[in-house]
Structure 1
Amino acid sequence: MPNIWINAGEISGDVHGGLLAREILRLCPQARLFGMAGPAMRATGVKPLLATEDLSVMGVTEVLAHAGTIVKLLRRTRRELAAQRPDLMVVIDAPDYHFRLLAMAKKLGIPSVYYISPKLWAWRENRARFLKTHVRRILSILPFESAFYARFGMEVDFVGHPLVDAVCTPEVMAIPPVPGRIAVLPGSRRRELTALLPTFAEACRLLTRRYPGLEFLLPVAPGISEAMVRNLWKGGPAVRLVSAAERYPGIRSCQLALAASGTVTLETALLHVPTVVAYRFSPLTYAVGKRVVRVPFISLPNLVLGAEVFPELLQDQAHSAALAAHLALWLDTPQCAETVRTRLRTLPELLGGGGAGKRAARIVLEEAQRRHA
C-alpha cells in the first residue's frame, strides 16, 4: 500500500491536488494519501495533517508579513514527515514554500516529485539547479517548459494541463453564453479581493450606465465569506454570488469576464469567455518583478498562445475606467469578442488534449512503488 504525502500551498494547487488524488485512488484504491490539503483535496479523501488555507499568501511583502506562520508550518510539517515517513512526497506549485520542504524531505531520505512545476522560466532561473538535485521527477503542465529545463540538462514529463478535463466537460461546454452576463472573478486570496474587488465593482457600475441591462455573476472562492465579498462590492451594481460548485457552469454562461490574473484566467479561456485581466501587487513586489520577470505576459492563456489575446492591465493601469472601456469594446463589437473565442478554442490541444490527471497519477504511483522494489 503506497503512502503518499501531497502538499498544496495555495487554493489553486489544492484544486490540482484534488484532481491528482482522485486519479491516484482510481488507479490504486488502497493508496494512503495525506499531507497539506485544502477543500478540494479533503473532499477527495486526502487526510489533512495541515491546512492549505493556512499558507495561501503571495508576493514578496505578503510572504514577509506571514513569516512567523510559515516557520511554524514548516516545523509542523517536518515533524509530521518524520513521523509518517511517506514513500513519496508530491509538492504542487508554491515554490517559495516548497523549496524549503524539498530540502527537509531530502535530509529525511524521502523522495519527491514536483507537480505543476514552478514558473522558473519567468524569473529565478538559477533555482532549476536546486530541483535537479532535490526531486526525482518534474511533472510539467505547460508545453513550453520542456525546452526551458533542457537548458539545465533536465528532462521533464509533460503530462498536460489537468484543467482541460476539469473544466471542459460536455455538460458545461453545452451551456450557451447569456448576452449581457459578465463574470466577476477577483481572485481567491483576501489580499487580491481587497486590492481588486472595489475597483471591479466601480468598473461594473460604469458599464451599467451605458448598458443598463447587464447582469453580473461572482463565484465566491472557498474560504472567502459572502459578507466580505458584499462589503467590498459596496457601490457596485446588483451582483449574483454563486458557490464554488456552480463556478464552471456559471462562468461558461457569461458573455465576458473581468478577472484577477491567476489560474482563473485559464479557466475562463478554456470556457471560451473573453476576459479582461487585471492585477495589483504590493509596490515592493511589483518593483522586484519589473526587474527580474522575463516573460511578455502575466496570464497563462496569453503565454500559451504567444499573443495578448486577453488584455492585461497591471498596477496603475488597472483602474475602473480602463477595465470598463475594454469590456465595452467587446460589447460594442461582438466580432472582436468572437475572434478571441476562436483563438481560445485551440487551447485544449496545446495543453495536452486531456488525460493529464491520469498521466500524472501513473508517474506518482510508479515513483512511490519504487521504494518497495
Structure 2
Amino acid sequence: MNKFNNSIWINVGEASGDMHGAMLAKELMKHDPELKVMGMGGSDMEKAGCDIRYSMQLINLVGFTEVFPKLPRLLKLFREIEDVFKKERPKAVILVDCPDFNFRLVKIASRLGIPVYYYITPQVWAWRQGRAKFLQKYVSKILCILPFEQPFFKERGVEAQYVGHPLLDIIPLSELDSIDPDPELVGILPGSRSREISSLLPEFARAAEMLLKDFPHLRFSIARAPNVTEEKLRRYWPEHLPVSISQPEDRYGLMRRSNVIMAASGTATLECALIGTPTLVAYKMAPLTAFLAKLIIRIKYASLANIIPDKLVLPEFLLHNATAENFYLQVKEWVGNPESASAVREELVHLRELIGEPGVAARAANIILSDLNAK
C-alpha cells in the first residue's frame, strides 16, 4: 500500500462541529505549514483553508426517521469517501462528534490502516455505553473535552486524553469578566428549535408576568438565535409585556449583563455557567420521547454545568416541572435574595476551574501531530 501523504482528513456533520473543526485545522496547519487539511465540513472549515471535498449538508439533516429513505445516497457517499482515502492516503482521519455517520468512517479508515482520532466524542457515557468497546477497537486516541470523560474511557481500555472544552477558545471570558451584571435584567434563552421555542417561551413569558408584580423594575431580554426571526419570538410573547430582542452577535454580552437567566437546556446553559450567570435550565419533550429517554439515558442531570461537577449547581426544571410557576419561584428567590444568587456564582467560578484553560484546539493539534510523529 502507498505511504501516507502529508494530509489529514477532518469530518464534521453540523454547524458547531464545523466551527470546532476549523479551529483545529488552523492549529494543525500552524504547526505544519506544508500540511494539507481536507474533508467534510462547511463554510468555517473552508475559510480556515481546508479543502472541502463534501459539504456537511449532505448528512446534517439525517435523523433516526430519515436514515432509511436516504440509505442508498449515504452508502454511495461512504464508497466515494473510501475511494478518496485510497487515492489521497491521509496520514490521519479526525472525526468530530456525529457518531451515526462517523462510526462508519472509523471502520473504513481502519481497513486502510489510517489512524483515527476522535475530537469531541459522542456522549457515550450518557447512553449506549457499549460504543466505548467500538472506540477501543478502532480509534487511536480520543481527545476528551469534558474532565470526567478521560477516566470513563480509560476504565474501558480506550486511549483518551483531556484537552479542555472548545468553548474556552470561543467565549471571550476575560473581556466579559470586566462587565458588571445589571441587577434589573433577566435574560431569556428559548433555544433555536421551533419545538423548544413554542413550548418554553410562553412559559418564560408567564413567569415574567408574575415576576413584574413582585419586582416592577425588572426588564427582560430574549436572545435571538441566528436561524430564528424576531417575528417568531414575538409570536410567543404577549404584546402587553415589554421585552427587548438581543441579536445573535450580542449573545455572550447578554449572558454576562443579565442578573439571572431562564434558558432552554443545551450548550447555552454551559455558556451561561462559564460566563458566571445564575441560570435555570428548562426542557420539555413529547411524553413518549420522555419515556424512552428515561429508559436509555444513564445520567443524573441534563445540563453539563451540573454533570461536570456531579452536583446540582444550576436548577433543572424538566418535562412536567418546566412550568411558569416553577420558573417564577426560582427567579424570585435569586432576585429577592441576592445572597442565593451569589452562592451560585461562587459555584460557577469553581466550574470554570474544572473545565480548564483556553488553547484547546492548539493542545489537540499538538497531541495528534506528536502521536503521528511517534508512530
TM-score by length of 2: 0.85
Q: 1:322 to 1:132 in 2, by over 3 A?
A: same
1:304 to 299, 308, 314: 308
Distance 1:228 1:357 in 2: 36
The one-letter code of the counterpart of 2:80 is: R
Can you list the C-alpha shifts for 1:117-143, whole angstroms capped at 9, x where unaligned? 222222211110111122111000111
Shift of 1:326: 1.3
User: Aligned residue for 2:241?
Assistant: 237
User: Aligned residue for 1:106?
Assistant: 110
User: Aligned residue for 2:205?
Assistant: 201
The one-letter code of the counterpart of 2:83 is: A
2:11 to 3, 7, 11: 7
Distance 1:29 1:193 in 2: 44
User: Aligned residue for 1:348?
Assistant: 352
User: Aligned residue for 1:327?
Assistant: 331
User: Aligned residue for 1:63?
Assistant: 64
User: Aligned residue for 1:79?
Assistant: 80
Alignment of 1:352-363 (within 5 A): 352-363=356-367
CA RMSD of aligned residues (A): 3.0
Shift of 1:98: 2.6
Distance 1:233 1:110 in 2: 53
Q: 1:222 to 1:212 in 2, by over 3 A?
A: same
**2:295 aligned with 1:291:** yes
User: Aligned residue for 2:145?
Assistant: 141
Q: Structure 2 unaligned runs (5+)? A: none
Identity percentage of aligned residues: 38
Aligned residues: 368
Answer whether contact 2:173 2:275 (CA < 8 A) is retained.
no
Indicate the structure (1 or 2) with the bigger Cα radius of gyration: 2
**2:23 aligned with 1:22:** no
Answer whether contact 1:57 1:63 (CA < 8 A) is retained.
no
Deviates more, 1:316-325 or 1:270-279: 316-325
**2:118 aligned with 1:117:** no
Deviates more, 1:231-240 or 1:252-261: 231-240
Q: Matched residue of 2:357: which SS?
A: coil
**2:164 aligned with 1:163:** no
User: Aligned residue for 2:277?
Assistant: 273
Alignment of 1:18-57 (within 5 A): 18-38=22-42, 40-52=44-56
TM-score by length of 1: 0.86
Distance 1:138 1:74 in 2: 26
Deviates more, 1:177-186 or 1:224-233: 224-233
Q: Structure 1 unaligned runs (5+)? A: none
Shift of 1:112: 1.9
Distance 1:352 1:214 in 2: 34
User: Aligned residue for 1:254?
Assistant: 258
Distance 2:82 2:208 in 1: 47
Deviates more, 1:271-280 or 1:176-185: 176-185
Distance 1:57 1:330 in 2: 39
Shift of 1:42: 4.6
The one-letter code of the counterpart of 1:250 is: L
Shift of 1:357: 1.7
Answer whether contact 1:11 1:188 (CA < 8 A) is retained.
no
Q: 1:30 to 1:251 in 2, by over 3 A?
A: farther
User: Aligned residue for 1:172?
Assistant: 176
Distance 1:73 1:227 in 2: 36
Q: Matched residue of 1:345: which SS?
A: helix
**2:228 aligned with 1:228:** no
Shift of 1:335: 0.4
